[in-house]
Amino acid sequence: MRQPLARELHDLLERGRDRQLRLAVTGLSRSGKTAFLTSLVNQLRHAGLEARLDLLPVAREGRLLGARRVNQQDLGVPRFPYDQAMAALDATPPHWPEPTRGISELRLTIRYRPTRRGLLGGETRELALDLFDYPGEWLLDLPLLEHDYPSWSLAQQPARGHQRAALFTDWLAAAAELDPAAAADEGQLAELAEAYAEGLRAAREAGFADLQPGRFLLPGELAGAPVLQFFPLPGIEGTERAALDRLPPESNYATLAKRFRHYQQHIVRPFYRDHFRRFDRQIVLVDLLGALNAGPERFEDLSRALANLMQSFDYGKRSLLSRLFAPRIDRLAIAATKADHVTPEQHGRLVALLEALLAEPLKDLRFADVPVRALSLAAIRATESREVSHQGRRSPALRGTDLSGEEQLLFPGEVPDRLPDAAFWARQGFDFPAFRPAPREGGALPHIRMDAALDWLIGDKLQ
Ligand code: GDP
C-alpha cells in the first residue's frame, strides 16, 4: 500500500489530468441516497448498452464505452453494497434496497472516447470515479463546532412547535431534575442520554429533520459508547459561565461538557478533515415530496434542517467551514428525489419549490461562486405516467404498485411552485402512497433525469 503522503500526491496528479473525481452523495435518512447510488452505478455499467442517458452528451454521442468496478483506495471505508441492492431490486417481488447507515465508497473506472481524438484516432480514456455515500445527518453537526457546551445547551432549548416538544417531555422532566453540581452517576447519564436519543429518533420517525447531535440517530459502531452519552443541559440559562466552569471535574456539568468536546473533536471534526475536505463534487438529495405529504410542521422542520445542512457548502471566506477545513467541492447539485411520485407536468414545479425552499442557502452559494444546480429526478422510477378520461376531460395520472402489491391508478396532487401557505395545507391537496419498484428483466434501471444529474456532476470530465 502507498504511504498516505505519496497517495495524496498521486491523487493530486491524477486529478490534475482530469482522470480522477471524488463524487459524494448525501441527504437525510430516506432521502433516496441508496437508490441514487445504486442507479448511478447501474446506469454507468449499462452505458453504451441499454441505459437511456440522452441528457449526458458523452452517452448520446456514443462515446461512453462503459464502467467497471475496481478496488477502492480507502481500505478503512466500507464498500457500498451494490450487489445486495441489485439483488433486492431483482427479487420477486422486487423490493427497495436496505439503506446504508454510515459512509460507504465504491470506485468505478469509466472508459470513454474524448471529443477531440489524438493523431491516431481511436484513442480511449479512463476516468476513475470515487463515489461516496454518507448520511446528511452528519452535516447537521457542523454548527455544533461553533458552540461550547453551555451555548449548545441553550441553542437546543427553545420549544420548536408543540408536536416536536411533546416528543421530549419525558426526557425533559428527568433532565430538569439533574443537579449540574452533583457528582455524575454514569448510569443516570447513560439513561438520560438514551432518553434524549429516543426523543430524537421519535422526532425523526415523525418526519422531523432538524436534529442534533446527528450521530445519535445513526450511531453505527459508536452505539452505547460514552462519547454519545451527553445531552443539552436544561435550566442553565441564568447561570454564569464562570460559575459553571468552576464546578468540579466529576460533576454532571463537567462530565457532560467533556463528552460534548470529545464528540466535537473525535467524531465531527474527523469526518470533515478526513473525508469531506477531499470531495470534488457533491449531490444533496431532498425528499421534498415526502415532506409535502407529511404536513406543515415537518415541512418547516425539513426547511430548517436543510438550511443547517447547507452551511457545510457555504465556502464564503469567513464561513466556519472554510476557516476550519478548506474544502474544495467545486460543483454542487441539489435534487428533489422520487419525482416518479408525481405526474411529469409537475416536475418543473418541484424544482421551483426546491429552489424556493433553499432560496437563502442558494444565494450564499452563488455569492461564494460555487456552481450549483437544482433538479428533480427519480433514481429508480417505480411508476408509469398515464392519461385518464373523467367526464370527458383528459387528465394526467400515475400507475404503479403500492407496497402491499395493489395496483394503483391515481393523481397524487399538484405540487405548489412556491413555499406552501396556510391555504395549501388547509386543502391538503397532496397525497400519495409509497410504490414498490417495478419488476424488470435485466437491462438498466428505469429512471427520470439521472442522466441530467450525471451530466452536471461528471459530464465536463468526459469531454
Ligand atoms: P436513504 O436512507 O437516503 O439511503 O434512502 P433510500 O435510498 O433507502 O430510499 C428510501 C426510500 O425511498 C426507499 O425505500 C423507497 O421507498 C423510496 N425511494 C427512493 N428512491 C426512489 C425513487 O426513485 N422512486 C420511488 N418511487 N421511490 C424511491
**How does pLDDT run across 255-310, given as a tens digit for each residue?**
999 999 999 999 999 999 888 988 999 999 999 999 988 888 888 889 888 888 88
Please compute, for residue 368, the number of CA atoms within 13 A of its CA located in the half-sphere on the CB side: 26
Ligand 1 atom closest to 36 (CA) = 7
418 CA → ligand 1 middle, Å: 24
Residue whose Cα lies nearest atom 22 of ligand 1: it is: 338
Over residues 189-211, mean pLDDT:
89
Integer CA distances (angstroms), 378 to 125, 191, 453, in order: 29, 41, 10
Atom of ligand 1 at shortest distance to CA of 27?
3
Question: What number does the ligand 1 atom closest to the CA of 434 have?
Answer: 16
Tell me what percent of the residues of the chain surpass a pLDDT of 90.
Answer: 53
Q: Which atom of ligand 1 is nearest to the CA of 383?
A: 26
Residue 236 or 91, more confident: 91
Domains of the chain: 4-137+273-381+440-462 (3.40.50.300), 139-265 (no CATH)
Task: Give the closest residue (by CA) to ligand 1 atom 10.
Answer: 30
Distance CA 339, CA 292 (A): 13
The pLDDT score that the predictor gives to residue 107 is 95
Output the pTM of the full model.
Answer: 0.89
pLDDT of residue 87: 96
Atom 15 in ligand 1: residue holding the nearest Cα: 96
Give the whole-angstrom CA distance, residue 211 versus residue 204: 8
Q: Ligand 1 mean position to 31 CA, how many Å? A: 6
Q: How far is the CA of 398 from the centre of ligand 1 (A)?
A: 18
Ligand 1 atom nearest to CA at 96: 14
Q: Report the complex ipTM.
A: 0.99
> Residue 55 Cα, ligand 1 centroid: separation in angstroms?
23
Residue nearest to atom 11 of ligand 1 (CA): 30
What is the whole-number distance in angstroms between the Cα of residue 98 and the centre of ligand 1? 10
pLDDT for 155 equals 85
* Coil/strand/helix, residue 139: helix
Bridge pairing between strands 393-401 and 372-376: unpaired
Q: Are 189 and 255 in contact (CB under 8 A)?
A: yes
- What confidence tens digit (pLDDT) does each residue in 83-136 have? 999 999 999 999 999 998 889 999 999 999 998 765 556 688 999 999 999 999
Q: How many CB atoms lie within 10 A of CB 194?
A: 16
> Which ligand 1 atom is the nearest neighbour of the CA of 28?
3
Which of 28, 96, 289 best tests ligand 1's pocket when mutated (most atoms within 8 Å of CB)?
Answer: 96
Radius of gyration for the chain, computed over Cα atoms and rounded to the nearest angstrom: 24
* Index of the ligand 1 atom closest to the CA of residue 98: 8
Is 373:335 a contact under the CB 8 Å cutoff? no
Alpha-carbon span 143 to 309, nearest angstrom? 9
**Cell 405516467, located at residue:** 385
Q: How far is the CA of 223 from the centre of ligand 1 (A)?
A: 25
- Grid cell, residue 183, equals 457528582
Pick from 25, 31, 34 the residue to mutate for probing ligand 1's pocket: most ligand atoms within 8 Å of its CB: 34
Residue 1 scores a pLDDT above 50: no
Spacing, Cα 284 to ligand 1 middle (Å): 14
pLDDT at site 428: 67
- How far does the centroid of ligand 1 lie from the alpha carbon of residue 367, in Å? 32
Give the separation between CA 343 and CA 387, rounded to whole angstroms.
Answer: 10
Residue located nearest, by CA, to atom 21 of ligand 1: 338
Could you tell me where the DSSP H helices lie in 311-358? 320-325, 347-357
Closest ligand 1 atom to residue 379 Cα is 23
What is the arithmetic mean of pLDDT over 28-51?
91
Q: Which long-range contacts (CB under 8 A, 24 or more apart) does 254-261 make?
A: 254/184, 255/184, 255/189, 256/149, 256/184, 256/189, 256/230, 256/231, 257/148, 257/149, 257/150, 259/226, 259/227, 259/229, 259/230, 260/148, 260/149, 260/152, 260/230, 261/148, 261/149
Closest-lying ligand 1 atom to the alpha carbon of residue 403 = 16
Please state the rounded mean pLDDT for residues 61-74: 88
Mean pLDDT score of the chain: 88
pLDDT score of 400 more than 70:
yes
Q: What length does the chain have?
A: 463
Q: Give the Å distance between the CA of 239 and the centre of ligand 1.
A: 46
Q: Which residues form ligand 1's pocket by a CB distance below 6 Å?
A: 27, 29-35, 96, 99-100, 337-338, 340-341, 378-380, 382, 434-435
